[in-house]
Amino acid sequence: MSIFGKVNTSSSVASTEIDWESTYKDLLPRVYHYFCLRINDSLDAEDLTAITFERAWRNRKKYQKDLGAFTNWIFGIAGHILADYYRKKRSENLRIAENSITELSSRAVEEDFAHKDQFNRIVSILASLPEREREIFSLKYGAQLNNREIAKIMNLTESNIGTILYRIVSRLREQLEK
Amino acid sequence: MNDNFIYKSLPKVRKEFEQSLYRKISIDTLNLQKKYSNPKKIRWHQVAFIVVGLLTLLAWSQIQFIVRYVPIGDLWLVEFNKVTSSEPAPTVFIPTPLATQRAWDGKTMPEIRIMNIYFPSWIPSDFLPIVPPQEMLSSHQTIGGWRNDSEEEIRLFITPFAGGMRPYAPAGMYKEVAINGQPAILIYGRLALRDKDNPQAQREWDEYLGLQLHWLLKNNYVYTLETFGAYVSEADLIQMAESMKEASWFSTPVP
């Protein structure tokens, strides 16, 4: 039995209660990947993921019957934590965008080397993108939100999001194939 | 759009991290449940908040019940803020031998051992002398009473000045007037029960119940003319007070 309380199994139906254990397993990598794509540091990404969950988990019962709202909420928290992280880093005069590609590769010892290399290349290409595009990309491939959810967060239209993502992915593919 | 290469490249979450975070938030969750199942601990800021609240309440109640002593001539008037009261009247009286004696309209005056008492020589028209009710428990002495056909009354009381008589009235319900050039207190209304049938009911100041006129005469007695009803005007009451003359019937024995 889940330590978080046994509840009904379906996490997709709004009217039933959420299985928090499976929700944790689903959301953890999404939050972690979101941070990885934004800050390029796996250990810092772990720290920020932990902070996000610790902050969100206490009040999760408020969203007992609405996983969608809980997911949006947890990524809202992640956004705030990321902003705090950037502020702190700025005060330390560190440039996040130029940071830790090598650090990531040296720390993530469990990852497959080929994937790791690919990820590092993707991250280095993303580092040259504007902030807004990096955020959209991270929400799509890290947080795994759909275009509609991203559009809502970014105050853009869904088709705008689709266009921007298409452009980024094309660019990535093009540069990775070089 | 083929974007599988992006998903494939994403780093995996370390098992140790996943499990340690799971344990951590599990423990936090259990602690949280335990915390909420126990009585809530009072924190210092909550204590401070309660103390400030109590002090504010205390200050408010002091302001509500505060009284002010207003000197008018040789008399002191107790001015209070509250126009309702469930307490007895705040007037201060000290009993005197007069309290046990009976007095009335002057024709059959009781045996009061006062050599020079005063009595009005002018009464508003339509008022006739009556035997005023005896007030055994009061420190003041009723020495006269008059009533008209509308059952409105005027009563005359005396209280030894040395007894510390203190008329009382809410702010705005009194004023200083002159009786033959001497300062006097004219009060509009008196405290009255909100529910006439219930003696325990809260009392409320009613400015239309009549007038009270308090002044000190040279025999060191505070005289009070009090009206019950709206018939007698302020001017009539002052005229009545100014007509006070030394009476000659004080040695009359009680019938």
Residue B61: pLDDT band with limits 50, 70, 90: confident
Domain count, chain B: 2
Q: Is A102 exposed, middle or buried (0-12, 13-18, 19+ CB in 10 A)?
A: exposed
Whether chain A has a CB inside 8 Å of the CB on B18: the answer is yes
User: Is the residue at B251 inside a domain?
Assistant: no
Residues of B in contact with A165 (CB under 8 A): 1
Nearest chain A residue to B18 by CA distance is A28
Nearest chain A residue to B10 by CA distance is A119
Whether chain B has a CB inside 8 Å of the CB on A134: the answer is no
Alpha-carbon Rg for chain B, nearest whole angstrom, is: 35
| Residue whose token pair is 């409105």 | B152
User: Is the residue at A164 inside a domain?
Assistant: yes
Range of the domain at B207: 68-246
User: Is the residue at A15 inside a domain?
Assistant: no
Mean pLDDT, each 10-residue run in order, chain A (178 residues): 39 58 88 90 88 83 75 87 85 51 46 69 88 91 91 91 92 86
Answer yes or no: do B144 and B225 share one domain. yes
pLDDT at position B3: 83
Which residues 47-66 of B are in CB contact (within 8 Å) with A?
A: none
Residues of A in contact with B11 (CB under 8 A): 33, 36, 42, 104, 108, 111, 115-116, 119
CA–CA gap between residue B132 and residue B89 (Å, rounded): 21
Q: Is A156 exposed, middle or buried (0-12, 13-18, 19+ CB in 10 A)?
A: middle
Whether chain A has a CB inside 8 Å of the CB on B208: the answer is no
User: pLDDT tens digits for B198-239?
Assistant: 777 777 888 888 899 999 887 678 899 999 877 788 899 999
The residue among B220, B231, B255, B215 whose CA lies nearest residue B105 is: B255
Residues of A in contact with B14 (CB under 8 A): 46, 108, 110
User: Is the residue at A140 inside a domain?
Assistant: yes
Whether chain A has a CB inside 8 Å of the CB on B218: the answer is no
Answer yes or no: do B28 and B147 share one domain. no
Mean pLDDT of B67-95: 65
Say if residue B136's pLDDT is above 70: no
Share above pLDDT 90 across residues of chain B, in percent, rounded to a whole number: 16
Say if residue B148's pLDDT is above 70: yes
Answer yes or no: do B151 and B84 share one domain. yes
User: Is the residue at A125 inside a domain?
Assistant: yes
* Contact check, Cβ <8 Å, A165/B1: yes
Whether chain A has a CB inside 8 Å of the CB on B32: the answer is yes
Predicted structure pTM score: 0.44
Higher pLDDT, B32 or A64: A64
Domain count, chain A: 1
pLDDT at position A167: 92
User: Is the residue at A151 inside a domain?
Assistant: yes
User: How far from each other are the two terminal CA atoms of chain B, in whole angstroms?
Assistant: 123
What's the angle, vertex CA B230, arms to CA B229 and CA B232, rounded to 5? 100
CATH code at B138?
3.40.1000
Residues of B in contact with A116 (CB under 8 A): 11
Higher pLDDT, B4 or B52: B52
User: Is the residue at B17 inside a domain?
Assistant: yes
Say if residue B114's pLDDT is above 70: no
Whether chain B has a CB inside 8 Å of the CB on A83: the answer is no
Residues of B in contact with A46 (CB under 8 A): 14, 17
pLDDT at position B30: 60
User: Is the residue at A8 inside a domain?
Assistant: no
User: pLDDT tens digits for B150-171?
Assistant: 888 899 988 888 766 788 888 8
* Contact check, Cβ <8 Å, A115/B6: no
Answer yes or no: do B109 and B150 share one domain. yes
pLDDT at position B115: 53
Q: Quick one: three-class SS letters along B188-202?
A: EEEEEECCCCCCCCC
Nearest to A118 among B9, B17, B26 (CB): B9
Write the Ramachandran bin of B202: left for phi over 0, alpha for psi from -120 to 50, otherwise beta.
Answer: beta
pLDDT at position A160: 92
Whether chain B has a CB inside 8 Å of the CB on A126: the answer is no
CA dihedral A86, A90, A91, A93 (to 10 degrees): 140
User: Is the residue at B123 inside a domain?
Assistant: yes
**A-B contacts at Cβ under 8 angstroms:** 72
User: Is the residue at A160 inside a domain?
Assistant: yes
Contact B201, B228 (CB under 8 A): no
User: Is the residue at B31 inside a domain?
Assistant: yes
Range of the domain at A116: 20-176
pLDDT at position B134: 61
Sheet of strand B168-170, all strands in order from the earlier edge strand to the far edge: B67-72, B75-80, B168-170
Mean pLDDT of B77-102: 50
pLDDT at position A55: 85
Mean pLDDT of B174-202: 85
User: What ipTM was reported for this prediction?
Assistant: 0.73
Answer yes or no: do B27 and B75 share one domain. no
pLDDT at position B138: 55
Write the Ramachandran bin of A176: left for phi over 0, alpha for psi from -120 to 50, otherwise beta.
Answer: alpha
pLDDT at position A58: 76
* Partner residues linked to B187 by β-bridges: B174, B212
What's the angle, vertex CA B104, arms to CA B102 and CA B106, rounded to 5? 125
User: Is the residue at B226 inside a domain?
Assistant: yes
Answer yes or no: do B116 and B187 share one domain. yes
User: Is the residue at A111 inside a domain?
Assistant: yes
pLDDT at position B202: 77
Token code pair at residue A174: 């093009």
Nearest to A57 among B6, B17, B25 (CB): B25
Residue B135: pLDDT band with limits 50, 70, 90: low
Tell me the pairing of strands B168-170 and B75-80.
parallel
Nearest chain A residue to B4 by CA distance is A141
